[in-house]
Structure 1
Amino acid sequence: MKNEFDSHFVLAVFEKIRSHGKHQDDAYTLEGVKAYTDFDGYTLFIEDASVKLSFGFHNQYHFDYEKAEQMEQFEKKLRHIDASYA
């Protein structure tokens, strides 16, 4: 699987998690997906139990996961959040 997300998609999902999710300990959680920033707000993190996405300056991003199936499930969760919340 090719790990490419449009920067607008990542930012939209992050904002939807922030707007509709539960706030706890400087992070927001929605449907099992957690979103937060680093101390200065330049790097965003979106993660579930198996995959971590860090998205930063100049739209650079990095995924951390062990199996392709985990990434596929993570992408499905993000697309579901994007489609389900206005």
Structure 2
Amino acid sequence: MINELDCRQLLHVYSLVMEQGEPTEYGKQYQGIEAFSDYDGYSIYLRGNGVQLKLGFHNTYHLDYDDEWQKERFLRVLKVMLQSINKCSAP
């Protein structure tokens, strides 16, 4: 499943969190997902449920988690967010 992540979709989730989220110490949080970027803006992060996803330059990404169930739960939340984005953008 990791290889199936689409960086463009991850950017859509990041944008949704930044637009709809509540401010946090590092960025914004929406539906249990926190989004923020590093100081130069080259890398963005999505964090929640014990998982941190770093989306870097040239559409590279890295998932950091302790247990497989954390990753699966995190990816399910992202999928639900993407479905809500797709519903809103449908004609």
TM-score (norm. length: structure 2): 0.86
Q: How many residues align?
A: 85
- For 1:29-61, what per-residue CA distance to the aligned partner results, in whole angstroms no more than 9, with x for missing partners? 001110000001100000103100001101111
Greater C-alpha radius of gyration: 2
Any gaps of 5 or more consecutive residues in structure 2? Answer: none
Corresponding residue of 1:17? 17
* Two-structure CA RMSD over aligned residues (Å): 1.2
Alpha-carbon distance in structure 1 between the residues aligned to 2:21 and 2:67:
27
Corresponding residue of 1:3? 2
Letter in 1 for 2:57: F
Alpha-carbon distance in structure 1 between the residues aligned to 2:57 and 2:16:
20
- Which structure's residues are more often helix, by fraction? 2
Letter in 1 for 2:69: E
Corresponding residue of 2:79? 79
Alpha-carbon distance in structure 1 between the residues aligned to 2:25 and 2:64:
22
1:43 aligned onto 2:47? no
Letter in 2 for 1:51: V
Corresponding residue of 1:30? 30
Shift of 1:23: 1.8
* Structure number with higher relative contact order (C-alpha < 8 Å, ≥ 6 residues apart): 1
Alpha-carbon distance in structure 1 between the residues aligned to 2:14 and 2:38:
13
